Amino acid sequence: MEPLRFWLALPMVTLLLTLAACKDEDAARCGDGTVNGVEQCDDGNNIDDDGCSNSCVLARCGDGASQTGVLDKEGKTFDEECDDGNRDSNDLCLSSCKLAKCGDGAVHKGVEACDDGNTDDTDDCTSKCALPSCGDGLVQKGREECDDGNLSDADACLTTCLEASCGDGFVEKGKEECDDGNFDDNDTCLGSCKLAKCGDGVVRKGVEACDDGNTDDTDGCTSKCALPSCGDGIVQEGEECDDGNPSNSDACLTTCLKPSCGDGFVQTSSVGGPDGGTADGGAAPDGGTGPDGGTADGGAAPDGGTVAIEECDDGNADNSDSCLNTCKKAQCGDGFVQKGLEACDDGNSVDTDGCTNSCKLPTCGDGFVQTGEECDDGNPSNTDACLNSCLNATCGDGFLQATAEECDDGNASNTDACLNACKLAKCGDGFMRQGIEACDDGNTVDTDTCTNTCKLQSCGDGFVQTGEECDDGNLSNSDTCLNTCLNASCGDGFVQQGVEECDDNNFDNGDACLNSCKLAKCGDGVVQKAVEECDDGNTSSTDACLVTCKTAKCGDGYVRQGVEGCDDGNAINTDACLNTCTQAKCGDGVVQQGTDECDDGNTVGGDWCSSTCAKECSLGQVNQLGANGQCYVGFTSSLSWNDAAAACSIVGAHLASIGDATENTTVTGLLSTTGSAWVGLTDQYGEGTFVWYEGKNKFFAPTYTSWAAGEPDNNPGGNADCARIATTGTWYDQLCSELRPYVCEYVWPAP
């Protein structure tokens, strides 16, 4: 079926040419370079895109192959840009075999929205083969006023393709200050697209009270678009002044009136009148007006000028408060009694009349001597020459005069702290002070009945009296004088500092304090009970008493001369010094590490340990050291199993025990001399349970066996209870009474 499809797919001309060529192999054929019969062409090659196809057909637009030199309808040749074999001009290849592109007049589906074959951007299809739209940068006639191809509404063309204008709601940069899209002049943006401001002649609701479009502050509307009022800084009709501030202490009050004394506001700076002059009218002594009618120092002058400065201004005409009606602060001496502050004010500086110059009525203590006073120093002190009762100070008045008296208790007693002469009582003044002094004989002799400290004589007063050995005046018993007034001595029970180490008031040398008042210590030659074992008074540790006052003994670490050969102070028997304090040596029965291999307590060889303490494996007729350090010995004499075990025990060994194949090989090596021999394996202590016998009560279960095939068989007669090893290394159970050679095993004791 496939060959049939192939033939049916060929163009009819190609098919005919092929069939013709098949009739005769020698006939003309397509590709021989000669145009024959039905061939349209024959260029003698197999190139399919050179104007003549491999089927000898002339190339044509629409045959599906992109050719060069193709004939058009007019017989002219051209080169194809493409050939998709169809007549559809809406795909990538036009029916003219040209590649589709914008401007070719054919709409390329899925790529172009339109294609009118021209470059005119003002018709219904742009030169980019796109349908026109606002924002494409191309102005469509009759449809758009403008089109700048951007999304900005702040330039001359809006994004709606309308030209920008005042009131469109968009602020055009460089031309408009604002644009709120309405024509209301009462908001922040005027209908002219200018920002609303004071002076533009339009009243802005809620912001401006008025707006007359000028800068004249004296008409009905100020330059700040506010209605005129007192305090706005502009003098209007009916105002004397207006300085625009809330201060009442300058040249203009907040009521827009000029200040004056009595208006209730204190003026703190000098202010000129209309002609610049200040008032020159000072107050007369009696409070009258000045020569030219001006008011006293600060009142307004006739020409309207104001005086310099006010001290106060309480706005009333009362001269009995803190501010006079001349705007001066009230003070003592001004002739006016200030209520609550002054008792009087006579307007003069005389202190001896009925009113002092401090405006007080005269009293004792005011500093002025009045009739009936001895003195008056104006202070409340009773320690100077004038008492606060205005009487002159004297001894006995009960007040201490700082520069004249030591004391003054105001009484005539000489037994208290202050004498009648206003002197402080003290020991030696001849007067016994009650509760303080035991006596006072008025002299400095310490050997009579009254010491110069005004105390009756006694032990501890610091003075040696008759019957006292000493008296150092203190309570210490650690110095040279006891508080019993006896001289300190060793044995008095008190430790004398710097002299004695101790003093226990006894003559026992066996306690912690010796009779010499020295502290007992090891090495003082006296044995301290319950503390020291001995004390020989020397520093030698090689005699019977150590320097630690312990009795010398073996193991204390000190070699006692003539008694010990050594003493290393430890319990180790395997070093150079035994626990018996004798020097270690071969034959002492102790294996010395690193020196002895063995030590059996003698210097005789042939007993497993040589005379030099080296291990010996030399007994029997044959012997061999095992891999684990034990000695195997073979004897050729024949004995029963029990006698062989006894014979091994006599030399300190036991019948051989075999724990692994290596030991089995070692024992087997001896049998070339002894022949088959007894070993220590037996079940005579429990039928059927073989154990290794290594001496009395020493039985070990086998961990390795080398029984011959069929062994143990307990033959003959069911009494074969002892094992022998054959020269082959295999084991057999035999009657224990049989006589055989034997192998002993010796294990040297651990050090």
- Is residue 18 predicted with pLDDT exceeding 70? no
pLDDT of 283: 40
**Helix or strand or coil: residue 625?**
strand
What is the share, in percent, of the chain residues with pLDDT greater than 70? 91
Instruction: Tell me the average pLDDT across 176-192.
Output: 86
pLDDT of 270: 65
Contacts of residue 281, defined as CB under 8 A and 6 or more positions apart, other chains included, come to: 289, 290, 291, 292, 293, 294, 295, 296, 299, 301
CA distance 285 to 233: 41
CA distance 379 to 366: 8
Q: Is the distance from CB of 412 to CB of 403 less than 8 angstroms?
A: no
Computed over every residue of the chain, the mean pLDDT equals 85
| pLDDT grade for 287, boundaries at 50, 70 and 90 | very low
- Is residue 290 predicted with pLDDT exceeding 80? no
pLDDT of 21: 43
- Is residue 337 predicted with pLDDT exceeding 60? yes
CA distance 630 to 659: 12
pLDDT of 158: 92
CA distance 69 to 41: 13
Instruction: Tell me the average pLDDT across 432-440.
Output: 89
Enter the DSSP assignment of 392.
B
For tokens 């330059």, the residue is 223
Rounded to 5 degrees, φ, ψ at 52 are -130, 120
Tell which residue, 178, 220, 218, has the closest CA to residue 203.
Answer: 220
Instruction: Tell me the average pLDDT across 204-213.
Output: 87
| pLDDT grade for 278, boundaries at 50, 70 and 90 | very low
Of the three residues 306, 330, 354, the one that is the final residue of a domain is: 330
- Would 642 be classed as within a structural domain? yes
- Would 260 be classed as within a structural domain? yes
Question: Based on C-alpha coordinates, what's the Rg of the chain?
Answer: 75
CA distance 644 to 646: 5
Instruction: Tell me the average pLDDT across 266-291.
Output: 49
Instruction: Tell me the average pLDDT across 506-520.
Output: 87
- Is residue 46 predicted with pLDDT exceeding 80? yes
Tell which residue, 311, 307, 312, has the closest CA to residue 290.
Answer: 307
Residue 586: CB atoms within 10 A of its CB come to 20
pLDDT of 27: 63
Task: Encode burial over 188-224: b for 16+ CB neighbours within 10 A, e otherwise.
Answer: ebbeebeebebebebbbeeebeebeeeeebeeebbeb
Of 20-34, 340-354, 506-520, which gets the smallest average pLDDT? 20-34
Q: Which two tokens stand for residue 673?
A: 């001399």
- Is residue 609 predicted with pLDDT exceeding 90? no
CA distance 255 to 252: 8
Pairing of strands 631-639, 740-746: antiparallel
Amino acid letter for position 78: F
Q: Which two tokens stand for residue 484?
A: 């019993």
- Would 460 be classed as within a structural domain? no
- Is residue 389 predicted with pLDDT exceeding 90? no
Burial class (CB in 10 A: 0-12, 13-18, 19+), 735: middle
- Is residue 632 predicted with pLDDT exceeding 90? yes
- Is residue 449 predicted with pLDDT exceeding 50? yes
Reduced to 3 DSSP states, what percent helix, strand and coil does the chain have, rounded to the nearest 5? 5, 10, 85
Contacts of residue 242, defined as CB under 8 A and 6 or more positions apart, other chains included, come to: 230, 231, 232, 233, 234, 235, 236, 252, 256
pLDDT of 81: 87
**Element holding 523 (H helix, E strand):** none
What is the number of structural domains in the chain? 2
pLDDT of 308: 59
| pLDDT grade for 140, boundaries at 50, 70 and 90 | confident
Model confidence over 363-376: pLDDT tens digits? Answer: 898 888 888 888 98
- Is residue 681 predicted with pLDDT exceeding 50? yes
CATH number at residue 653: 3.10.100.10
- Would 39 be classed as within a structural domain? no
**Beta pairing partners, 735:** 720
Instruction: Tell me the average pLDDT across 437-446.
Output: 86
**Element holding 229 (H helix, E strand):** none
Ranges of beta strands (E only) in 656-739 are 677-682, 691-693, 699-700, 720-725, 731-735
Structural domain span for residue 727:
622-746
- Would 353 be classed as within a structural domain? no
Q: Is the distance from CB of 638 to CB of 739 less than 8 angstroms?
A: yes
Contacts of residue 456, defined as CB under 8 A and 6 or more positions apart, other chains included, come to: 438, 439, 449, 450
Enter the DSSP assignment of 586.
T
Of the three residues 286, 311, 330, the one that is the final residue of a domain is: 330
For tokens 């090495």, the residue is 523
Pairing of strands 677-682, 654-655: unpaired
- Would 205 be classed as within a structural domain? no
Which ranges constitute the DSSP H helices of 513-570? none
Instruction: Tell me the average pLDDT across 467-495.
Output: 90
Model confidence over 553-596: pLDDT tens digits? Answer: 998 889 999 899 898 888 888 888 888 899 888 888 788 888 88
Of 245-249, 587-591, 628-632, which gets the smallest average pLDDT? 587-591
| pLDDT grade for 304, boundaries at 50, 70 and 90 | very low
425 versus 73: the higher-pLDDT residue is 425
- Is residue 437 predicted with pLDDT exceeding 60? yes
Instruction: Tell me the average pLDDT across 67-73.
Output: 80
Give the CA count within 13 Å in the CB-facing half-sphere of 434.
Answer: 6
pLDDT of 664: 97
| pLDDT grade for 217, boundaries at 50, 70 and 90 | confident
CA distance 646 to 744: 10
CA distance 568 to 558: 7
Tell which residue, 72, 54, 52, has the closest CA to residue 62.
Answer: 72
Instruction: Tell me the average pLDDT across 24-32.
Output: 71
- Would 612 be classed as within a structural domain? no
- Would 323 be classed as within a structural domain? yes
pLDDT of 24: 46
Dihedral over Cα of 282, 285, 291, 293: its sign: positive
Model confidence over 698-741: pLDDT tens digits? Answer: 999 999 999 999 999 999 888 999 999 999 999 999 999 999 99
Cis peptide preceding 741, ω within 30 of 0: no
Q: Which two tokens stand for residue 197?
A: 């401001």
Tell which residue, 627, 621, 623, 701, has the closest CA to residue 664.
Answer: 627
